[in-house]
Amino acid sequence: MLETLLKQTEYTPQLNVYLILDEVNQESFSEFIPYLHSRLPSLSILRANPQPLRHFPVNGHATVATYFRLLLPGLLPADCKRVLFIDSDTVITDDLAPLWNLDLQGKSLAAVPDHWLSCRDHGYVHGRYFNAGVMLIDLERWRQTDVIGRGASFARANPERLRHWDQDVLNHVFEDDWLPIGERWNACPHLFGLLPEFSLRPEDLTPSEQEAISNPAIIHFAGPGPVKPWNARCKHPLRHHYLDARAQTPWADNPLDDAPPPKLKRVWTEAVFQAKCYARRILR
């Protein structure tokens, strides 16, 4: 995501990037931090304290880190008035200046409404529930809102509603206090044929959805394993944007998740298996 962000903002000297971490493998940290600093002179590393989030439930593949965006008002510098939050499983394919300069019309954030299938399956009204993977945030309004307190109360009272963890919390805290924006700013997999129930017939798509498909600005690989572009089984038609960006990093040659082992290893594994089977037959 950062590689593609840099490509789109190379002529934007005021870019400031904040990376929020808690516990990180030291070996990985010592590898990626020098690289990021070499590419992003404005990079700031923020250490999150998960203690205020102890009342928020986690399950499945989620960890407490999924709630870190709730900490943004206190983590970011006091003179930071506006921030664009972007999930890491994204690639940027267009200039973000129009989004950054958007008039929030007095709302606490701007985001893309989640698609109707997601809303239906999780008990929300389509058009009144946003995807939190990309948000333009008015930090001054967030600082006037008890995000953690109100969010924790909602989580304790409604644990069954937390299908998307922090996203559900944010939709509760900022209900009717967010500005809907076009899908091209958070183009999710359903727009690219990866959700069979979602019709891509032109007559079933809104003009905003059609624009997101033909001209996405932020491609969001939201979803489980095979949807992610670093998974060998990924069928996303725009996966090449990720692979092209990855090729520019020190991790270009790392194997993809779920990739089959090299042919030589497969041959060796099969030979060992056959040898063991032969030995069992001999020893009977």
91-118 tens-digit pLDDT: 999 999 999 999 999 999 999 998 878 8
**pLDDT confidence of residue 272:** 64
Where is 179: in which H helix or E strand?
strand 178-180
- Pairing assessment for the beta strands 218-220 and 90-92 based on DSSP bridges: antiparallel
Percent of the chain with pLDDT over 90: 54
* Residue-range domain boundaries for the chain: 2-83+105-178
What is the pLDDT at residue 41?
A: 76
- Give me the chain's average pLDDT, please: 87
Q: What is the phi/psi pair of residue 7, to 5°?
A: -60, -35
CA torsion sign for 57, 63, 66, 72 is positive
**Angle at alpha carbon of residue 177, lines to 167 and 217, rounded to 5°:** 60
pTM of the complete model = 0.86
* Mean local confidence (pLDDT), 268-280: 63
Give the span between the Cα atoms of 118 and 274, in whole angstroms. Answer: 48
What are the pLDDT digits (tens) for 252-267?
Answer: 999 998 876 655 655 5
Conformational region of residue 247, where left means phi above 0, alpha means psi within -120 to 50, and beta covers everything else: alpha
Write down the CATH number for the domain with range 2-83+105-178.
3.90.550.10
Per residue in 138-156, pLDDT (tens digit) is 999 999 999 999 999 988 8
What are the beta bridge partners of residue 43? 17
Cα–Cα distance, 152 to 169 (Å, whole number): 8
Q: How far apart are CA 116 and CA 129, in angstroms?
A: 9
